[in-house]
Structure 1
Amino acid sequence: MNVLITYASAHSGTRAIAHLIGERPRSRGLHARVGPMNEGEDLSRFDAYILGSAIHGGSRPPTTATTFADEHRAEFADRPVRLFDVDLARALVAVAATPGGTT
């Protein structure tokens, strides 16, 4: 099985998390390609997709992510798709609210 883990990221946080996610299918003997969302990507060679995006302060995903999802809607219709988002601002607030947490 070929899995595409792709991401839209303004900084390196989402990219790093996508690479960590990519380790899971590889540890199970699957082929996983991890890379940024590209407009011209041939998705037909993948059997499953994991899409990720940075979400800054709960805002909408970047245009790159929404455009990619819209353009590949047909491919996603008949294959497994999972999503992840990264909001480091919310994560820091949660850590600060935890007793003993620091930022």
Structure 2
Amino acid sequence: MSNILIVYSSVHGQTRKICAYLEQKLIALGNQVQAASISDDIDLAEFDKVIIGASIRHGKHNPVVYDFIEAHQDALEKKPSSFFSVNLVARKPLKNTAETNPYMQAFMDKSPWLPALAEVFGGNLNYPSYGIVDRSIIRFIMWMTKGPTAADTNIEYTDWLKVDSYADNIDQLSLES
């Protein structure tokens, strides 16, 4: 049993939803789990493992993700830790792994911390819930990438079986991983 922290940066809520799901899965595996927003005041010393989940907005992870990593890099490197990215590009079969997803690759290039375990999950495309600016930008990006553009589109691309597998991998994660 481990005491696990899940830290998230979520814009439209899908990353938080994935974190809540992971929390329940990891508890069911016998762990103690706490989920917290990346902007919360968090003491990593209290936890055995740390997971960071972050969504993409307009092609980038939130700068606070990198600030958090920089502030806690020493602790992250001394504990079994993981990072996952939630983005709509991961809906595509050739871009749905940590090795093939351009946002994960950009994260790995920019981050001073290299997690022991990395994963990507497809996000949720929900045009009706977006403000006009986000809706317009995302529809344009989807048009360019041959994705859905109908204004009433609401599609969840998260592969929950993949999230289950990720939870199992986190449960087994150790410093030697």
User: TM > 0.5 between the two?
Assistant: yes
User: Who is 1:14 aligned against?
Assistant: 15
Q: Which residue of 2 aligns with 1:83?
A: 83
Aligned partners of 2:13 and 2:44: how far apart in 1?
Answer: 24
The residue aligned with 2:62 is: 62
Amino acid across the alignment from 1:60: K
TM-score (norm 1): 0.80
Identity of aligned residues (%): 25
How many angstroms apart in 1 are the aligned matches of 2:26 and 2:90? Answer: 28
Q: How well do the aligned residues superpose, as a CA RMSD in angstroms?
A: 2.4
In the alignment, residue 40 of structure 1 is paired with which amino acid?
D
Q: How far apart, in 2, do the equivalents of 1:28 and 1:39 lie?
A: 26
Counterpart residue identity of residue 7, structure 1: Y
Provide TM-score, normalisation by structure 2: 0.49
CA distance in 1, matches of 2:42, 2:90: 31
Structure 2 partner of 1:100: none
Q: After the TM superposition, which segments of 4 or more aligned residues of structure 1 sit over 3 Å from their partners? A: none
Higher RCO (C-alpha 8 Å, min separation 6): 1
Structure 2: state its 5+ residue gaps.
Answer: 92-124, 126-141, 149-154, 156-177
C-alpha separation in 2, matches of 1:38 and 1:48? 18
Q: Tell me how far 1:89 sits from its aligned partner.
A: 5.6
Q: Helix, strand or coil: the match of 1:33? A: strand
Pairwise CA distance, 1:68: 0.7
Structure 1, residues 10-45: CA drift from partner, whole Å, max 9, x if none?
221110011111122101111000121135311100
Letter in 1 for 2:76: F
Q: CA deviation at 1:77?
A: 1.1
What residue number does 2:134 align with? none
Report the structure number with the largest CA radius of gyration: 2
Aligned residues, how many?
97
Taking the TM superposition and a 5 Å limit, the aligned residue runs for 1:33-72 are 33-38=34-39, 40-56=41-57, 59-72=59-72
Task: Note the residue ranges of structure 1 that are not aligned, 5 or more in a row.
Answer: 98-102
Give the C-alpha shift of residue 90 in structure 1: 4.7
